[in-house]
A and B are shown apart, each in its own frame.
Chain A
């Protein structure tokens, strides 16, 4: 990104025209307004995001049930989580599997779709058709997909497979632990393709045409070279935004899993980190233990986010 450097010039004007007292006055007036504009966001952000994260980290070292005052238990919660809580480990591995597959696949598919659609006619229609599933509620879409994945002969997929003679009896898509996660992934993937899509489309349209012309003069021959030498480097901010989106989306999997398989799901096949958090925090009210789950989720997404940021940073350019 090209940063405009206008500061020295305006400072020069300020020095010429204003006495020091006036400059200070102006400085204060400017900042007062700055804080005033920032205040509504700052207050809500502090109460509902910053403070909760700090509190969650603090609570994760305690035993707290909302009735008695929390008391410090050290790393006990974490020890329990990773050594004794098999349900959590199941949830963790489910979430990781889910994220490793749906995150990158959804990301690449949505970028590919945006890149292709950007070159087609009827952009608007294609964009709408692609984006529509991701603006629909996960709950609503699960009910639609459950008709297709329905476990009896009435289900479209079972019906289809039976007719083709590929299977002899209906597959229990949402009750057989072997299939549940696959179904959840499929629906999520279908829904999440649009998440980064619009951002990517935005980025693609923002690459100035002159860059492509310049690249053509420099010897870039086809669309793929254009993509790698011009488009991708220019799109780093959007790629970063999309990647962070994909990470938080993939690790936050919950509502689709619940509406496909219920809670608790058969054999915990669709149990996720967020489901575990919900279970301990809002059903059992073991806030300390649940906070430890939240902190684990926080660390995973944060570390991944930092890595992605390092890779896709465009600050130095």
Chain B
């Protein structure tokens, strides 16, 4: 065991097991993070470095040519790349906003207003948590088809708003909110809607931020919904577009390797960025035990 004088007169205790722990964690972190670093590095590689033998991990002369290729060369072909990005952004944003509102309202009702039948509904939600979403896709497809929504944004948005996970998540946090505060507000004459908007929603902020992250990530990456609800090229979202550009599983077509790397980078960046921005609140959600009593 080693003792080092740390700043402010504190002593830093370094034990062998602690060092070992950090080393193990750093190896694990390398394992999880290296492909992502490779992804960033590759997106900025010029053509000759992309096909270097033996392959090199880090980029030597970074360039943004891959990105302009992605926009320009693919723009002339069928559907311009920005169109896919636009589809993804619109759909994901609308879903996130709607699901946060709908889930919070529903959870408030289930936890604090407790209308008869609420327990039954919650049990259904628990059941819905337990099977993979693919189970419902066939009848959902028929509903969407019946409503004439195939190849529209509606097809990609409506079925993805009421997600069992989302309301479950909010409900769990809502349970920590003290009933006494609500009673006090009611006695003071505040309406339920006002209580919900001015008291409950602000208190839920860490939870809704967490839900925003989860919901954004899931829908941004959703591959199955656009695969079945969308047939026209112009309505496809990024995950499908990426497969089209990459030429599917047959392996990357040589000429587009740079564009694929750039597209992959552009597709991955938003989810990581939104998590980094919200990470503080997501973590706060986690240390959110002050109110628990």
Contact = CB atoms under 8 A, between A and B. Distances in A.
Do A and B interact with each other, yes or no? yes
B21 A116 contact: yes
A260 B243 CA distance: 11
B289 A208 contact: yes
B7 interface: no
Interface string B50-72: 01011101000000000000000
B134 A37 contact: no
B54 A150 contact: no
A281 B142 CA distance: 11
Interface string B211-249: 001000100110110011000000000110011001011
B232 to A, nearest CB: 15
B137 A49 contact: no
Contact of B32 (A129, A201, A206, A277): A129
Interface in B90-139: 101-103, 105-106, 108-110, 113-116, 118, 121, 124-139
Given A34-B118, A37-B108, A147-B42, A251 B132 contact: yes
What is the size category of the interface that chain A forms with chain B?
35 or more
Contacts of B220: 137
Given A49-B128, A135-B272, A144-B264, A33 B113 contact: yes
A37 B38 contact: no
Given A45-B121, A248-B133, 20 more contacts: A4-B179, A34-B114, A38-B105, A48-B136, A49-B164, A50-B128, A55-B139, A117-B25, A124-B279, A128-B275, A132-B275, A137-B238, A144-B36, A144-B39, A159-B54, A206-B287, A265-B249, A287-B138, A297-B134, A309-B126
14 contacts: A31-B113, A33-B109, A33-B193, A38-B105, A40-B105, A48-B159, A52-B135, A130-B29, A131-B275, A136-B268, A174-B249, A259-B243, A278-B224, A282-B141
Interface of A: 4, 6, 10, 30-31, 33-38, 40-45, 47-53, 55-56, 59, 66, 113, 116-117, 119-120, 123-124, 126-133, 135-141, 143-148, 150-151, 153-154, 156, 159, 163, 174, 190, 193-194, 198, 201-202, 205-206, 208, 237, 241, 244, 247-249, 251-252, 254-255, 258-263, 265, 274, 277-278, 281-282, 287, 290-291, 294-295, 297-298, 301-302, 304-306, 309
